Structure 1
Amino acid sequence: MTCRPRATTALIAAALALVLSGCGDEIEEAPSRPPVAGGAALGRLLADADAAMARGALPDAARMLDEARSLAPESPDLWVAIARLRLRGGEHLTALEAADRALAFGPDHAPALLLRALMVRDAHGASDALRWFAAARKAAPDNPDILAEYAATLGDGGQASAMLKMVRALADAAPDDPRVPWLQAVLAARGGEYGLARSLLERSGMAQREVPAALLLDALISLEEGNVDSAAATLETLAARQPANARVRELLARALLAGGREDALIARFGPEAALPEASPYLVMLVARAHERRGDRAAAAPLLARAYGPMRAGPVVLAVREGLPAPTAETRAALLAGNRSGARAGAEALRQRFPASADVASLAGDAFMGGGDAQAALTAYGLAAEARRPWPLARKTIAAFQRSGRGEVADLLLIRQVAGDTQTASAALALAERLAAGGDWAGAAALLDHAIRLGAGHDPMLLRLRLRAAQELGDKGGKARFAAVLAEVQPRTLKAR
């Protein structure tokens, strides 16, 4: 095991997990369609509905699918299309119902199995989804969409060798599919072969088409190769498109600091670093920028925050430019202390969009901000039926803890880490719980895994790993982690 405290490398592996999870962006835009059971008329309607969805004309797609339903109400292809339309329209929970109907009408229908695999991956993680991908591949062994998503999911689950094998199967089935070099680029970057990754990424053409996950990979490679200005420009574009993506903002801050643009970093992220929600890493980067400018008075309190104890419990997130209006309004109400207004707004949204997992999650945030953990759990549980990314799982865990159900919170955390092996912060959270219970061997294993994912810059993680080495009597590990921590830990800096 190696611990590289360089901040750029420290973010590479964790961000690549996001790259893998985003490699399906192209599939939603241009799915391959196998022959449709139900006749030429049904096939034309479904193809036209696909085209309408691709251009965002959801009402037109709905009208076409209603017509198709009158022709073949038990067609699994029809119900897959209905599920996809509902997903595009934000009706996540009724999309699940449509996917179930597709499988009821066609238990071995490959597109329905693929859709269910994707839904299980979103809600329960990569490991639970693999059996669904296996079933989908069995139903259609050479389907490029199935092979590509199967490969990505294997990568999400940390199975690099199996992922490579699946990418080769994709190459055999569809040699010209751009996802072949794209997935190979992700594998190469995760293996530290950045020159090869760059060549493969260019061959895929996905960055040129501005697929978000490909832009992120392009920026990561540029950072590692020292092309920090190019990385910053790409990350600025991504941050504007994904204002709630904390990882992209952290990478952008890192690129600005590496490029000697301290003034731009402070102007862009200084206000954010003052927020309670700011990550220790971002706070540290802003502090370093102040330090380089010789402003010890501004740097000292930020460094104290960055390397101090972790905060306990959730915080209300700030309002950011580009957020959807309902999210911005709810956050603004909570930040202003208007809990009843936030809750009323969330309830109104739930009445308007009862099938939306996003609205259910937002309602949970409002309930948590208002101190009603039980109502938050109900809302988060509804959202998790469609998808449960780490941010949602973390909030659900906090709600269980706040409601006095710590054992349930721990079980959910264990399940989350088992299903999502590529999120360093989740592994760190579980390591903290194991350490609190005296399981230092288990904590050490999780911390080592988090370091391999790129969290080796985190002083809190390193302190906990040093403590684990001490508790386990590992003298070599104790010396090694003490040395790494000394490199990462800044000198004491006091305001003058």
Structure 2
Amino acid sequence: MTFRSSLPAALAAALALVACSPEPAHQTPRRGIGEGSPAFTQLLADADKAMSDGKLADAGRLLDEARGLAPESPDLWLAIARLRLRGGEHLTALEAADRALAFGPNYAPALRLRALMVRDAHGAADSLAWFQAALEADPDDPDTLADYAATLGDAGEARASLKAARALARVAPDDSRALYLQAVIAARGRQFTIARSLLAKSGMAARGVPAALLLDAAIGLEEGNADSAAAILETLVARQPANARARELLARAMFDGGRDAELVRRFGPEASLPEASPYLLMLVARAHERLGERAAAAPLLARAYAPARTDPVLLALRDNMPPPVNAIRRALWNRNPAAARAEAKALRARFPASADVAALAGDALLGAGDPRAALTAYALASEARRPWPLTRKAVWTFARHGNPAAAEMLLARQVAGETGNAAALIMLAERQAARGDWRRTALLLDHAMGLGAGHDPALLALRLRAARGARKAAEAERFAALLAEVRPRSLTAR
């Protein structure tokens, strides 16, 4: 445990194929009828303003009018794609982005948007070719350089990420993202003094940008400034109550600052939920211990050190969640799968192009005992977005219902696209260990430990098995010693 901040063959193919995005094409762009006319340009500008003001219906009306002037304009279809994304129509937004590229294959803004879509659906690694194509079309575009630098960092390419961030600084000296990105890279390299200096110069934390606030707090914790980190995180959690990462960091800041009673009072109820992470369980348990409450700490420690569960957990109702989410959860909590299925069906009818609704429908169908329908919904959602929680549920469903090969294929794709995901690495390592492939098991676990997961007893126990399985005595001795250090002391209450 670390305190450093986890069926049918046709459906298997559907989930895998959406993860295999083609390379961006390079062709001669076609010009749209009426493209660039003053009336057309004004309509696009008015639509953009309407979108900024949240008037999506007005924006749609203006774009319909613009389509009558230039139906083959890449600008038009890019605007339509952006509007559909703003309206939660992720799947039809993909179609619009592809239309923009069909009419302008070298159109840099459309290539950038497609790169972002590929990143959302397939991970950082798969999107890099699209970002590179966008930069070939427009090497000095600040937005593309910023997104490219961030994506390289997520893909584990620190040097290339720094190079792109510095390129952004050259073409846009006043763009605060260049300094912020360099701060992130420095923090990942544990150069916290440099990271803090760069972050301060960017001004983004002072302006209250959520990602910058989170980085500021994380640096503060690493520097031992728990109280200041807690103050920042209190603000962020108040603004984003559903941000689990921010909540866990706040709990860590309270723990490091010795605010044990406050930590137990605030996060004790959350630690009682089935979905509580081992990290939060450990923090609350240790706070109970420091208060002399070993009887309260013991069951939390037992849960924290138990083998990681892979089966889906029904999440608790939360006041800050959208009503449809809570409606489905409430139906499942009340053991009324028919109501959950009906709610999901109604949502799909109202929002057929929403990846978020498709994923939520998959959860409802899985909870209602229909894994085939759940995987169909997950496959649809994966066309636009493939976050780790969705992949994890699909992997579990495939493995539980007779298609382990599909489960492993999806898991391998997730690891390839999201190299910094320790939970996915560990899950894939467990599957390699089950077949006795100790070399791959060791490689995956070593990478996970490099990401900060090296204090997890379950991980170290598996790494010890891999060393013994590969007949590496020195490695086995080293991991046995590490495992002995992190195993919890007796959990018996005094």
Length-normalised TM-score, structure 1: 0.91
Q: Which residue of structure 2 aligns with residue 442 of structure 1? A: 440
In structure 1, what is the Cα distance between the partners aligned to 2:310 and 2:445?
Answer: 19
CA spacing shift, 1:233–1:342, aligned 2, 3 Å: farther
Q: 2:138 aligns with which of 137, 140, 159?
A: 140
Give the distance between the partners of 1:91 and 1:326, measured in 2 at CA.
Answer: 17
Shift of 1:62: 2.0
CA contact (8 A) 1:42 1:72 kept: yes
Q: Check the 8 A contact 1:87/1:95 in 2, yes or no.
A: yes
Do the aligned partners of 1:240 and 1:322 also contact (CA within 8 Å) in 2? no
Partner of 1:414: 412
Corresponding residue number in structure 1 for 2:387:
389
The corresponding residue for 2:190 is 192
What residue in structure 1 maps to residue 450 of structure 2?
452
Q: Distance in 2 between matches of 1:415 and 1:276?
A: 28
Q: Does the residue aligned with 1:151 lie in a helix, a strand or coil? A: helix
The corresponding residue for 1:264 is: 262
2:48–2:59 Cα contact (<8 Å) kept: yes
Distance in 1 separating the partners of 2:429 and 2:463: 9
Q: CA deviation at 1:467?
A: 2.1
State the partner residue of 2:11: none
1:158 partner SS: coil
Q: Which moved more, 1:316-325 or 1:82-91?
A: 316-325
Mapped contact 2:2–2:452 kept (Cα < 8 A): no
Partner of 1:25: none
In the superposition, relative to structure 1, how do residues 49 and 230 fare at CA in structure 2: closer, same or farther (>3 Å)? farther
Displacement of 1:37 after TM fit? 4.9
Gaps of 5+ in 1: 15-35
**Equivalences for 1:46-125 in 2 at 5 Å?**
46-125=44-123
In 2, are the aligned partners of 1:219 and 1:231 still within 8 Å (CA)? yes
CA distance in 1, matches of 2:181, 2:284: 34
Given the alignment, which residue of 359, 364, 368 partners 1:370?
368
Report the equivalent of 1:306: 304
* Partner Cα distance (2:237, 2:410) in 1: 31
Q: Distance in 2 between matches of 1:196 and 1:88?
A: 36
- The corresponding residue for 1:27 is none
| Alignment size in residue pairs | 467
- Measured against aligned partners, the alpha-carbon deviations of 1:278-332 in whole angstroms (never above 9, x if no partner) come to 1222111111111111111111111111112222411111112311111122112
Q: CA RMSD in A?
A: 1.7
For residue 396 of structure 2, what is the aligned residue in structure 1?
398
- Who is 1:181 aligned against? 179
Q: Distance in 2 between matches of 1:426 and 1:6?
A: 17
Question: 2:37 is matched with which residue: 36, 39, 48?
Answer: 39
- The alpha carbon displacement at 1:6 in A equals 6.1
Q: Which residue of 1 aligns with 2:326?
A: 328
CA distance in 2, matches of 1:139, 1:391: 35
Question: 1:250 maps to which residue?
Answer: 248
Q: 1:73 to 1:58 in 2, by over 3 A?
A: same
1:379 to 377, 380, 391: 377
Q: Deviations over 1:375-416 (max 9, x none)?
A: 100100111000101111111111212221111011110011
Find the aligned partners of 1:488 and 1:240 in 2 and give their Cα distance. 34
Write the distance in 2 (CA, Å) between the matches of 1:6 and 1:460. Answer: 11
Measure, in 2, the Cα distance between the counterparts of 1:44 and 1:197.
43
Kindly indicate whether the alpha-carbon contact (under 8 Å) linking 1:243 and 1:323 is maintained by their aligned counterparts in 2. Answer: no
Separation (CA, whole Å) in 2 of partners of 1:304 and 1:244? 26
Give the counterpart of 2:422 among 398, 421, 424: 424
- Give the counterpart letter for 1:482 in structure 2: A
Q: 2:294 matched to which residue of 1? A: 296
Partner of 2:13: none
Aligned to 1:165: 163
Q: Show CA shifts across 1:31-67 (max 9, x none).
A: xxxxx95233333332332233223222232232222
Cα–Cα, structure 1 residues 384 and 252, in superposed 2: closer, same or farther, change >3 Å? same
Aligned equivalents of 2:359, 2:236: Cα separation in 1: 24
Q: Is 1:483 aligned to residue 470 of structure 2? A: no
> 1:341–1:184: structure 2 CA closer, same or farther, 3 Å change rule?
same
**Distance in structure 2 (CA, Å) of the matches to 1:409 and 1:242:** 33
Q: 1: CA distance between counterparts of 2:310 and 2:351?
A: 32
Amino acid at match of 1:145: D
Equivalent-residue separation in structure 2 for 1:258 and 1:367 (angstroms): 42
1:107 Cα deviation from its structure 2 partner = 0.9
Q: Which has the larger displacement, 131-140 or 273-282? A: 273-282
TM-score (structure 2 length as normaliser) = 0.91
Distance 1:488 1:248, change over 3 A: farther
Unaligned runs of 5+ residues in structure 2 are 7-33
Task: Determine helix, strand or coil for the equivalent of 1:108.
Answer: coil
- Alignment match, 1:217: 215
CA distance, structure 2, for counterparts of residue 459 and residue 40 of structure 1:
66
Give yes or no for contact 1:243–1:321 (8 Å, CA) kept in 2: no
* C-alpha contact 2:310 2:396 (8 A) present in aligned 1: no
Displacement of 1:257 in angstroms is 1.0
The amino acid of 1:426's aligned partner reads: A
* Letter of the structure 1 residue corresponding to residue 270 of structure 2: E
**CA shift at 1:117, angstroms?**
0.7
Residues 195 and 475 (structure 1 numbering): CA distance in 2 closer, same or farther, change over 3 Å? Answer: same
Cα distance change on mapping 1:243 and 1:431 into 2, 3 Å: farther
The aligned amino acid for 1:133 is F
Which residue in the other structure is 2:10 paired with? none
Shift of 1:470: 2.4
Partner Cα separation in structure 1 for residue 431 and residue 210 of structure 2: 34
Per-residue CA deviations over 1:223-257 (Å, capped at 9, x if unaligned) read 11111122223223333443443322222211111
Q: Look up the match of 2:347.
A: 349
* Aligned with residue 229 of structure 1, among 227, 230, 233: 227
Runs of 4+ residues over 4 Å off in structure 1:
none
Output the CA distance in 2 between the equivalents of 1:69 and 1:376: 37
Question: Does the C-alpha gap of structure 1 residues 189 and 165 become closer, same or farther in structure 2, counting only changes over 3 Å?
Answer: same
Partner residue of 2:15?
none
Quick one: which amino acid aligns to residue 169 of structure 1? A
Q: Select 1:339's aligned residue among 321, 337, 340.
A: 337
2:460–2:479 contact (8 Å) kept in structure 1: yes
Matching residue of 2:285: 287
Partner of 1:22: none
